Amino acid sequence: MWKVTLKSEECKSLHVTKSKCPLVYQYVINDDNLSIVNKHKNLGIWIESSLRWDSHINYIVSKANRGLIRRTFGSKDPVAVKTAYNVLVRPILEYACPVHVEPTFG
């Protein structure tokens, strides 16, 4: 209907389950079996088949903790360090991380 063609070599199968004995199915596109993976990165978010966030958290922490700000600014100018953190590190930590914060008054 939409005339979309899928390249089977670019497709993967990720079975998401919390079961200790999961049922594993083999999916086929264009007569080719899809490779089965335990985790996959999509839109910058690591998704594991066990629904754990270890891979994603480790990836984000290592990406944010590269030490660029410390090497560039050191502790010379606290305002520059804070600005660099808000521009370079904070977006990495907050991407795809919805948090509901109650407004405070006073």
For 75-103, how does the pLDDT look when each residue is reduced to its tens digit (9 = 90+)?
677 888 888 888 888 888 888 876 545 55
**pLDDT at res. 101:** 53
| Helical ranges in the chain per DSSP H | 54-64, 68-73, 78-84, 90-94
Average pLDDT over residues 28-46: 89
Name the pairing type of β-strands 12-14 and 35-37. Answer: parallel
pLDDT in the model for residue 106: 54
Predicted structure pTM score: 0.65
SS3 29: strand
Q: Distance between CA atoms of 104 and 10, rounded to whole angstroms?
A: 48
